[in-house]
Structures are given as structure tokens and as C-alpha cells.
Amino acid sequence: MNTHSAGAFLLFFFCVLTAGGADPRRDVAGIMPVRTETVPVQVESMYLKGLSFLQNAQKADGSYEDNEGRQPGIIGFCLMSVLAHGDDPNAGPYATMVRRCLNYILSKQNSGSGYIGDTMYNHGFATLALAEAYGMVRDDRIGPALQKAVALTLTAQKKNKTGGWRYAPDSTDADSTVTGCQIVSLYAARNAGIPVPDEAFERGLKYMASCRDNKGGYGYTGPSGPRVTLTAIGSLTLSLARQKSDPSF
């Protein structure tokens, strides 16, 4: 997940996952939508097949095959996909998978700095997953780990002159994929009860705005070369910021 295309794909995937976000009724963290109407049988069948694959393919340590399957950000997506289904994460049919995912993510967190994995992509998505699990899963480790992860994210932003984020905690430049990832994770953390200053969101959104052209498209490190995936990321951050009445949205 060190590349622009991988980051854009993963964030676009998350935009799809949260496509029902217009409904104000949320789960604890406030990001993933709560289902309020009957899901079509065909959709539920596909969902269950996907969850079955993730459950059966998972190793005992919580990871999956190949390099991507060992990255905590990817494990975070697996965790969020099962939490979003609405089963009891503590005693339901996917409780073992939930526990393995959490164990793996927590094992990849630096106990001193709070950094999860080896890129800010991994850190952001893993932080987002912890925020979604906080308050839903009975595990006293989640709260302290989430606080440390958020602190690392905020410290990285303070070090960055752009107000955004990039691949490493000490980066001094930024891009819209990594920045969008961190903004989403910070909103989830704040909605879960972790203090996040308004300034962090203001600076992050200001950087995102610098990547938007006059037609509403978002580029990677500036307004040039807008892409649909990057624009999905930008619109998601505006939505979470409750700026849907803004002309830019």
C-alpha cells in the first residue's frame, strides 16, 4: 500500500462501504451506516459469501496470505466488513474472526509511539478499525491503543507544514489519499469519544481543498489530474465534516 493507486483504491472501497452515510443513525463510532431497511436477498447472500471467505481464509494469527494480507490496514478492512454486518462481535458467528483481527492489529502497534504498521496508510486504516470496534467489542486494550494511535496521527500533522499527511509520520509533504484516510479515522475516533481538536480537521480539510479544481475534481497532490477515486475521497471528507450544503460538495 505504498503506491498512489493502492491508496486510492482502498479509500474508494471505503467510500463504497459507507455509501449509506446519509442516514443520521449510526453505530458507536458514527462512520459505518446502520441498516434501517431490509437488505435484498441477493445482496445479503453475496455479503455472507464474502464474510465466509474472510473467515475461512484467515490464519490463526489474524493475517491472510501474501504481503497485502499481512498489513494491519488490510486486516482493519476485514474487521470493519464483519462489524458492519451487525452480528454480535463478542459472541456471534464471527467473534473468533473479530478477535483475531484485533489481536493482529494490536500486535503491529508500536507500544511507545502508537504507530501501527509501517506506512500512514496502514496506520490510518487500522486506527479507523479500532475506532469502529471501540464500544462494540469487549476488549480493554482497544481504548488505550486507539488513544495512542490518534496521538501519533495528530503529532504527524503538527510536523507537516501542509496540514495534511503522507506516507510516514515525519513526512513534510502530503497527498489527498493519505490525508483523506487520516481525516476519516479522526472523525471515527472523535465520534467514538476520543478527543480530537477542531484545528486538526480544519487543517486537514484545508489541504484537501488545495487539491480540488474549480469543477470539483480532486487531484493527488494538487488540483491537476483529478480522478474519480480521489474525488470520492474528497467528497467523503466534506460529508463527514457536515459540509454537504457547501457548493464544493
Q: Spell out the SS3 assignment of 29-91.
A: CCCCECCCCCCCHHHHHHHHHHHHHHHHHCCCCCCCCCCHHHCHHHHHHHHHHHHCCCCCCCC
Alpha-carbon torsion (14, 69, 119, 190), positive or negative: positive
Beta bridge partners of 230: none
The single-letter DSSP state of residue 69 is: G
Would you give the end-to-end CA distance of the chain in angstroms? Answer: 28
Q: Give dist(CA 241, CA 50) in Å, integer.
A: 31
Q: Give dist(CA 143, CA 155) in Å, integer.
A: 18
Helix (H, G, I), strand (E, B) or coil at 76: helix
Helix (H, G, I), strand (E, B) or coil at 82: helix
Q: Give dist(CA 82, CA 205) in Å, integer.
A: 29
Q: Which residues contact 112 (CB under 8 A, 6 or more apart)?
A: none
Q: What is the pLDDT along the chain (249 residues), one digit of tens a residue?
A: 544 445 554 554 555 454 333 333 344 455 665 556 788 999 999 999 999 999 999 999 999 999 999 999 999 999 999 999 999 999 999 999 999 999 999 999 999 999 999 999 999 999 999 999 998 999 999 999 999 999 999 999 999 999 999 999 999 999 999 999 999 999 999 999 999 999 999 999 999 999 999 999 999 999 999 999 999 999 999 999 999 998 989
Give domain limits for the chain. Answer: 4-240
The fold of 4-240 is Glycosyltransferase (1.50.10)
